[in-house]
Amino acid sequence: MVEKKYIQALLLYLLAWYATAAHQPQNIIKKQSKSGKGFGSSVFFPVTGNVYPKGYYHVTINVGQPPKPYFLDIDTGSDLTWLQCDAPCTKCTPSPHSPYKPNKNPITCKHALCVSLLGSGNLNCENPDEQCDYEVNYADLGSSLGVLVMDSFPFRFTNGSVLGPRLAFGCGYNQEVPNSIHPPYTDGVLGLGSGKSSIVAQLSDMGLTRNVVGHCLSGQGGGFLFFGDDFLPPSGIVWTPILSQKKYYSLGFSDLQFGGQVTNIKRIAIVFDSGSTYSYFSSQAYSALVSMINKDINGKLTVAVEDKSLPVCWKSAKPFRSIRDATNYFKPLVLSFRNGKNVQFELQPQAYLIVTEHGNVCLGILNGGEVGLGDLNVIGDISLQDKLVIYDNEKRQIGWAPANCNRLPNMDGDFVDRYYQPYAADLGIFLQETCPASFGSGRRKQGRN
């Protein structure tokens, strides 16, 4: 496990440091990062949420002057950060806070981030000084329509500086949310993909952090998120290259092992996506996996057709009270990557199963073919739990290690105990980004395929 001794003083410091983030920016105080290139520092966020029953993990981020708090769904499957926006709001969903109010701060079509997000061939602008409209559509049929704006994001950095960099994000005035998400919803999405429009990429371009994202999502609820490289452990991380030039985190092809044995599920393309509650296999791989599991548990459990929590559920003679009660019936899975380094990503039963309110156990790997993912196989929150996962966009690599996500990291990569109340967006990976309507008009244009 990536954890060491308990340091009470550091725990109190980190909690106080996060809770007292100042509202006004100060001068930049730079320090040497671990890379030695003189970048600023890192930013740390406690995480709230769980896979079941809430269905998402989120952080609290302050935006504007004066700053106001918003709950944002952590999404490494898309780039654009957006908030529900009173521009005015054409279709907004129930949310914990009032919609963000823009203050004559739209980004124009000629802005580099507009071009990066939408592509030069998709700018639906009659002149370059028009506002930059966007539309993001997610694989779970959720979407956001709005305009790019820029405002202050007050952060307290680990080097002691307090800054309010002006960052670009989406002011979303028309949202669709899938039925699988239960209220209260978040206020928006924190896009942490590898594109230039992500918040971390913008901070990196300003010299404030390295372009590195890390998260640790606890199976008990909660966890933590960080930007920058100050919290990277000195050892114990398994690294594999990011192989796709697209904006999502592709790890290339892998073969699936079931219970330590090789299977016919081979050469499946893997993507990591913290915006997806569950994991998704392509149709052929999904069918083969369900068949293997049913064959293996035949006579031990029966199919719970009456439980509609997820597509495939099983029941025992007595209801399961926790995931621990159910794991003995199932075997571990292993994704073995074909990169010549024998890199493996292990999924113990608790990393692909949930126990529902009905006392049944359900498969948390779903059929990606049914939501338009094609041959992509998405590793979502359920399979990322209780692991420190690091997306290093500078070195173009992703790393992970088992971790106790109920502990806070210190800046040596060690972990310290922490306590806070755990609380409890399904598929976060985006399908398309387009540029439709004008600011607040509510007009919607068909996205590109």
> Which token pair is 263?
């299977």
Interatomic CA distance for residues 143 and 22, integer angstroms: 33
Active-site choice (73, 79, 151, 273): 273
Interatomic CA distance for residues 100 and 69, integer angstroms: 10
Interatomic CA distance for residues 167 and 82, integer angstroms: 11
Interatomic CA distance for residues 229 and 236, integer angstroms: 15
User: Rounded to an integer, what is the distance from CA 236 to the centroid of its chain?
Assistant: 22
In the residue annotation, 133 being an active-site residue is answered as: no
Q: Residue 383 burial (CB < 10 Å; 0-12/13-18/19+)? A: buried
Q: How many beta carbons lie within 10 A of that of residue 328, not counting itself?
A: 8
Beta bridge partners of 43: 227
User: Rounded to an integer, what is the distance from CA 223 to the centroid of its chain?
Assistant: 12
Interatomic CA distance for residues 228 and 164, integer angstroms: 16
Torsion angle, CA of 191/285/49/432, rounded to 10 degrees? 20
Query: Kind and range of the H or E element at 433?
Result: strand 430-434
Q: What DSSP designation does 89 have?
A: -
In the residue annotation, 73 being an active-site residue is answered as: no
Helix, strand, coil in percent for the chain, rounding step 5: 15, 35, 50
Q: Sign of torsion, CA 6 10 13 18? A: negative
Query: Kind and range of the H or E element at 239?
Result: strand 238-241
- Classify strands 238-241 and 353-355 as parallel, antiparallel or unpaired: unpaired
**3-state SS track over 333-401:** EEEEECCCCCCEEEECHHHCEEECCCCCEEECEEEHHHHCCCCEEEECHHHHECEEEEEECCCCEEEEE
Active-site choice (75, 187, 386, 392): 75
**3-state SS track over 273-308:** CCCCCCEEECHHHHHHHHHHHHHHHECCEEECCCCC
Q: What DSSP designation does 199 have?
A: H
Residues labelled as active-site residues: 75, 273
